[in-house]
Chain A
Amino acid sequence: GIQVEQSPPDLILQEGANSTLRCNFSDSVNNLQWFHQNPWGQLINLFYIPSGTKQNGRLSATTVATERYSLLYISSSQTTDSGVYFCAVWWGNTPLVFGKGTRLSVIA
């Protein structure tokens, strides 16, 4: 099946710093989403981005499907950005396949 690898597994940032999270996937997919899981467990949909680039405030994402990777950019990080960031992919109507996540801690 499809394998999803995320890097780095853990990241500690000083408030105000920028970061890039990476998601590599092993096979061709036509759908990809980035989620943020907050400390209470809620999974928040950040981007539905099967290809191209999208931006939402301080966050942006780029997916290059032909090269099987996606990047999530966080600029001017805030303590509220802390949590786990998951990348998930799927093909057609198959279930989501999640990466193991990047655990981000932003310190003041």
Chain B
Amino acid sequence: GAVVSQHPSRVICKSGTSVKIECRSLDFQATTMFWYRQFPKQSLMLMATSNEGSKATYEQGVEKDKFLINHASLTLSTLTVTSAHPEDSSFYICSAYSVNYGYTFGSGTRLTVV
């Protein structure tokens, strides 16, 4: 089946620093990937749609300058949390779509900003 790899799985960073999260589709090409954020005991909230070779589409209320998304190839999308603050601490999950399997999710990244 379709596999999406997400790294790192867990990261702790200091306030003011930037953190990059990678999302790779391992056995299929994904022209579109999606980034979600999940707060404890809540559902997933779509942050942005990442399009290969073009700018990402951000959902309303998501700061594009804080959450930089780059989709440089058909198998890799990155989310960079810039100038991180404690309120950015959350669980971030990426997803990619394939025709045969629908949406497949990465294993998620738990970000803690101290």
Contacts and interface: CB of A to CB of B under 8 A. Distances in A.
A96 interface: yes
A42 interface: yes
Interface in B24-79: 32, 34, 38, 41-44, 46, 49
A96 B33 CA distance: 11
B32 A93 contact: yes
B32 A45 contact: no
A96 B107 contact: no
B44 A45 contact: no
Nearest to B93: A43
A52 to B, nearest CB: 14
The bracket for how many chain A residues form the interface is 10 to 19
A88 interface: yes
Contacts of A95: 34, 46, 49
A86 B43 contact: yes
B102 A31 contact: yes
A107 B101 CA distance: 32
23 contacts: A31-B102, A41-B38, A41-B91, A41-B93, A41-B107, A41-B108, A41-B110, A42-B107, A42-B108, A43-B44, A45-B101, A45-B102, A45-B103, A45-B105, A48-B101, A48-B102, A93-B32, A93-B97, A95-B34, A95-B46, A96-B34, A96-B44, A103-B41
Given A43-B44, A98-B43, 12 more contacts: A33-B102, A41-B91, A41-B110, A42-B107, A45-B103, A45-B105, A48-B102, A93-B32, A93-B97, A95-B34, A96-B95, A98-B44
